Amino acid sequence: MAERTQVAIIGAGPSGLLLSQLLDLAGIDTVVLERRSRDYVLGRVRAGVLEEGMVRLLREAGVAERLDREGLVHDGIEIGWNDRLQRIDLKALTGASVVVYGQTEVTRDLMAAREARGGRVIHEAQDVALRDIDSTRPRVTWVEDGHPRALDCDWIAGCDGFHGISRASIPEGTLREYERVYPFGWLGLLSDTPPVSSELIYMHHDRGFALCSQRSTTRSRYYLQCSLAEHLYEWPDERFWAELARRLPPQIAARLETGPSIEKSIAPLRSYVAEPMRWHRLLLCGDAAHIVPPTGAKGLNLAASDVFYAHRALAAACLGGDMAGIESYSADCLRRVWKAERFSWWMTSLLHSFPDDGPFAAKIQAAELDYLLGSPALQESLAENYVGLPY
């Protein structure tokens, strides 16, 4: 005998848990299925720059108490070009700010909220399959503790990431996929050292891009552009710190505090969008439908905006049979997705080294950087996109 719920949510990352929390508050029953363990989900190191729209959504979900207490409000960022630095005053230019608060902490808060409300979250669900999505009674099957299980539902939300089962369950030829793969990666290092600056620094340097980020006033996150052919063993901490210092202006490098890494990884960069984001009774959210390079800090925030549209559409459909939000879900999401893809592509193209593009492209990039550092109008455009376009 199959269990029954209104919305089956695939994936217990921040988007799946946030959607479950918001639907629960609206009186809609959900079950969340996750193939990984709880500890694995919490162990993933991800972005931590939250747009104001996402912060408002977390408050609406009742999970922002610790965020409001511990999150670091940033009113600006700095853009660097070799030894030049220009502060982009987000608050003055847009009236909005961003909050630095790690994705791990967002996930931890959401897990606690779902547990407090008795939410059903099943970890280590194996062999998850989505069935009869094109009918009015879809079903999810999986194996739990060696036993086959089944769940009947009205809707399925695919929040299980780029490699998950949700998008793969849509018949071949149904989706239009758009992709750009970048010829480099980001080497990231996490350390228990004070951040080199109170705000994030995005650097373009002849040796490659660098980012000085943070998780708290005592924990820093740094990134270096690197070749995808490189391996972590080639980057001992000493080499990382030395290379980072080379890519920073001297006055910034002089105050850089180094220490042992507590996490280090290399991540490839890509831009990707799958259209449409709904197929019959399946709604795709977050990385299941789109990927952005991390340069513009949009990945987690885009997932949150998908959840904004999904929870309103599903609530209207489940509570009153109103299908307007369901019908417009994909178009609503994709309007914002493509603007964020554009911004992330632009930031990536502006700040990274592309040695294979030739001298003309390098001159154009230098002109764009020079224009940005001297143009209040372009700085306002950057700030508007960085703090987040409206939902």
As annotated, the active-site residues are 74, 202, 294, 298, 386
User: Tokens 């190191």 appear where?
Assistant: 45
* CA gap 350, 345 in Å, rounded: 8
User: Tokens 């376009």 appear where?
Assistant: 389
* CA gap 39, 61 in Å, rounded: 23
Handedness of CA 369, 184, 261, 238 (dihedral sign): negative
B/e letters for 197-207, b = 16+ CB within 10 Å, e = fewer, are bebbbbbbbee
What is the three-state SS of the chain? CCEECCEEEECCCHHHHHHHHHHHHCCCCEEEECCCCHHHHHHCCCCCEECHHHHHHHHHCCCCHHHHHHCEEECEEEEEECCEEEEEEHHHHHCCCEEECCHHHHHHHHHHHHHHCCCEEECCCEEEEEECCCCCCCEEEEEECCEEEEEECCEEEECCCCCCHHHHCCCCCCCEEEEEEEEEEEEEEEECCCCCCCCCEEEECCCCCEEEEECCCCCEEEEEEECCCCCHHHCCHHHHHHHHHHHCCHHHHCCCCCCCEEEEEEEEEEEEEEECCEECCEEECHHHCEECCHHHCCHHHHHHHHHHHHHHHHHHHHHHCCCHHHHHHHHHHHHHHHHHHHHHHHHHHHHCCCHHHHHHHHHHHHHHHHHHHHCHHHHHHHHHHHHCCCC
Which of 33, 36, 34, 28 has the alpha carbon at shortest distance from 151? 33
